Amino acid sequence: MPITPRSRAASATPKASRDTDTRRDVLVIKIGGSVSAEADPALDAVVSLHDGGHPLVVVHGGGPVVGEWSSRFGLETRFVRGLRVTDAATRDVALAVLVGLANTRTVSALLARGVPAVGLSGVDAAMLRAERESDELGLVGRITRVDSAVLEELVDAGRVPVVAPAAIEAPGDGEPLDEVFNVNADSVAGAIAASLSARLLVFVTDVPGVRAKDGKVIGSLDLGRAKALIDDGTIEGGMLPKVEACLVAARAGCRAAIVAAQGADAVERLLAGDSIGTVFEAAA
Ligand SMILES: Nc1ncnc2c1ncn2[C@@H]1O[C@H](COP(=O)(O)OP(=O)(O)OP(=O)(O)O)[C@@H](O)[C@H]1O
Ligand SMILES: [Mg+2]
């Protein structure tokens, strides 16, 4: 006998399957990984977009939490061009924290708010294949292939996949067969958006967009301008992989934007064609 849902939380069941291919309508939203269930504007955006009937894929990061747990284990944290230098111990901490803690917290916070979230990492169903980014970075992967079938199945069933950043080695690149790489969550979001031909890729972050040297937010960027800002050091650290991911997505025909966590409004306005934060228009 069906159980009557007692609350909105208990009704976090998928919406009816869609009978048309809605893949082009999918939105990919990348949020930070330090989700607090009570008041998180990035989660508000996810909830409201889901409630508005938009098919979604969520990708989360969690850099600060990985840093915190690494120091608990006495591991030193170091970044090169915005990417975490990752030895085997740091990779294990990153997996435990991102695929374990951050993913579970994000999924449970979304379920509690009625979103039928399903957690998985890029390793599941070999969704993300990667090769070593560089010797200097250790076990950091560069994504070489995305198999988005599992995401499409979940989205088509009305569920909201919540992807933790990790990838499995691409066959034939000389790594041990089951090597798992730490990958930057921004790169994951960009690769997934490109693979799904998403309608929009949004990075919800702690700054209102890409800032110019004078601190003002730049409303729109293209490859040439972004390259110049990277070369002169204006775009650095955590903003580097975000901008690179936006360029990957734009090249694949997706509009991409970097916005501050400020609830659903920003994403709804982006969907309506407005420019909020920094927007990268889809390359023609
Ligand atoms: N030109 C720039 N404009 C704006 N922010 C910049 C710029 N260059 C570097 N940054 C830095 O990028 C940071 C955002 O990236 P960061 O990796 O810290 O956050 P996140 O990716 O949203 O979270 P997480 O890494 O946990 O997923 C900003 O807080 C800022 O310090
Ligand atoms: Mg980051």
pLDDT tens-place string over residues 141-155: 999 999 999 999 999
Closest ligand 1 atom number to CA of residue 185? 27
Output the CA–CA distances (angstroms, integers) from residue 229 to 233, 235, 245, 258, 271, in the order listed: 6, 6, 15, 15, 27
Q: The dihedral of CA 244, 103, 118, 208: what is its sign?
A: negative
d(CA 223, CA 30): 21
- Looking at residue 63, what is its pLDDT? 87
Q: The dihedral of CA 154, 109, 124, 134: what is its sign?
A: positive
Mean pLDDT score across all residues of the chain = 88
- Residue 186's pLDDT band, with cuts at 50, 70 and 90, is very high
Query: Cβ(240) to ligand 1 under 6 A?
Result: no
Query: Cβ(210) to ligand 1 under 6 A?
Result: yes
pLDDT digits (tens, 9 = 90+) for 62-71: 988 999 999 9
Pairing of strands 160-164, 56-60: parallel
What is the C-alpha R_g of the chain? 18
Structure tokens at 206: 């702690």
Query: Cβ(81) to ligand 1 under 6 A?
Result: no
d(CA 62, CA 96): 11
In angstroms, what is the span from residue 226 Cα to ligand 1's centroid? 15
Q: The dihedral of CA 106, 107, 111, 115: what is its sign?
A: positive
- For ligand 1, atom 16: residue with the closest CA: 238
pLDDT at residue 200 above 90? Answer: yes
List, in order of start, the domains of the chain with CATH numbers: 22-280 (3.40.1160.10)
Residues with C-beta atoms within 5 A of ion ligand 2? 238
Q: The dihedral of CA 172, 178, 181, 185: what is its sign?
A: positive
pLDDT digits (tens, 9 = 90+) for 12-26: 555 444 444 444 689
Nearest to 84 by CA among 201, 187, 195, 191: 187
d(CA 70, CA 79): 13
Angle among Cα 104, 109, 111 to the nearest 5 degrees reads 95
- Looking at residue 2, what is its pLDDT? 41
- Looking at residue 265, what is its pLDDT? 81
pLDDT above 90 as % of the chain: 74
